[in-house]
Amino acid sequence: MIEIYLLEQFCAFARCGTLLKASEELHVTQPTLSRSMKKLEQELGVQLFHRKNSKLSLNETGKLAAEFAEKVLIANQDLIDHVHAYDRSLRTISIGSCSPFPINELMPTFQSYLPGKTILTELSDSDEKLLSNLINRQYDLVILHSLPEDKNLFCQRFMDERIYISLEESHPIAGKESVFFEELRGIRILMSVNVGFWMDICRRHLSEADLLIQNSMDALDELVEASSLPFFNSDRMIELGYQVPGRVSLPISDEDAHATYWVVCRTEDQAKYRSIFNVVRGYAIKHDERLA
């Protein structure tokens, strides 16, 4: 067997063309490489280099060897990467969501029922991406706004959300009970970039130029304070007390301004997250009771 350090040095030479450049890349001295290349030849029992005019270069055997050496290094790096990833996955839970609200709402639940685990959350604008990344184990849990049909997935309804538009009381349409997206056309509206699939919904109904998209919640809050511009809100946010003085919030009546969230895991993991799903079911029941 050939030790890895020899192959690393050999591949560096194959890439760099001279021992000097390779030695700089590897942060070793050049005689070290000269010696190593000899040792590699000796251990393989085969000529790997042309030595001509104090110029070292790979011969045909050497080129072949370099290809295979590269594969060994890749396999070695693979070992390291996969072991690290697996070890990490033992201490980490990855959660993908189509929307920020359910994540925020469930975070305390995650933290109390997954003690000691690092919770990693990610927003996505597409349920399909979330699902495929759930199946390929990149995510352990996902929160969708549609119910997937796959017997390998376990799904639990969570809660509903409808988006609102928050306007100055003096705004022409502030007196209405509710509005359609249609009626918001031509009005410049503030919104955050981190709203998951809602971004798609808004873009579908409104023109790009009307959406004043902010990269951070801080920037958004500041502009809401400092300006009279409308911004998007939701029934859930209002419930949590997110109302700005001097403004009214009107529900948006369109069908797709409303979402029902589902929490989903792979069926094999169902037992692992039972406590979490119990909490999620609690939300759904409470919601149903409120409707009744």
Partner DNA sequence: ATCACTTACGGGTGACGTAAAAATC
Partner DNA sequence: GATTTTTACGTCACCCGTAAGTGAT
Binding site for DNA (CB under 7 A): 3, 5, 18-20, 27-32, 34-39, 49, 51, 53-56
Quick one: 20 or 271, whose CB is closer to DNA?
20
DSSP for residue 144 = E
Among residues 24, 4, 22, the alpha carbon closest in space to that of 71 is found at 4
Choose the one of DNA, a copy of itself, none that binds residue 55, judging by a C-beta under 5 to 8 angstroms depending on kind: DNA
- Distance in angstroms (rounded) separating the CA atoms of residues 256 and 254: 6
Q: Which residue stretches of the chain are H helix? A: 4-16, 19-26, 30-44, 60-91, 100-113, 127-135, 181-184, 198-205, 217-226, 235-239, 274-291
Which chain residues interact with a copy of itself by CB under 8 A?
1-5, 7-8, 44-47, 60-61, 64-65, 68-69, 71-80, 82-84, 86-87, 90
Smallest distance from DNA to CB 8, Å = 9
Give CA separation, 204 vs 147, 198, 208, in Å.
21, 10, 9
Choose the one of DNA, a copy of itself, none that binds residue 82, judging by a C-beta under 5 to 8 angstroms depending on kind: a copy of itself
Quick one: 46 or 285, whose CB is closer to a copy of itself?
46
3-state secondary structure of 259: strand
Smallest distance from DNA to CB 13, Å = 8
Smallest distance from DNA to CB 79, Å = 17
Distance in Å from the first CA to the final CA of the chain: 73
Smallest distance from DNA to CB 5, Å = 5
Quick one: 11 or 259, whose CB is closer to DNA?
11
Choose the one of DNA, a copy of itself, none that binds residue 18, judging by a C-beta under 5 to 8 angstroms depending on kind: DNA
Quick one: 45 or 172, whose CB is closer to a copy of itself?
45
Quick one: 26 or 187, whose CB is closer to DNA?
26
Give CA separation, 35 vs 30, 58, 129, 234, in Å.
9, 15, 51, 70
Choose the one of DNA, a copy of itself, none that binds residue 54, judging by a C-beta under 5 to 8 angstroms depending on kind: DNA
Looking at the DSSP assignment, which residues form a beta bridge with residue 122?
96
- Distance in angstroms (rounded) separating the CA atoms of residues 162 and 180: 12
Choose the one of a copy of itself, DNA, none that binds residue 31, judging by a C-beta under 5 to 8 angstroms depending on kind: DNA
Among residues 158, 106, 132, the alpha carbon closest in space to that of 266 is found at 132
Widest pairwise Cα distance in the chain? 92
Choose the one of DNA, a copy of itself, none that binds residue 35, judging by a C-beta under 5 to 8 angstroms depending on kind: DNA
Quick one: 18 or 109, whose CB is closer to DNA?
18
Smallest distance from a copy of itself to CB 73, Å = 7
Quick one: 53 or 207, whose CB is closer to DNA?
53
DSSP-assigned letters across all residues of 161-217 = EEEEEEEETTSTTTTSS-B-HHHHTT--EEEES--TTHHHHHHHHS-GGGEEEESSH
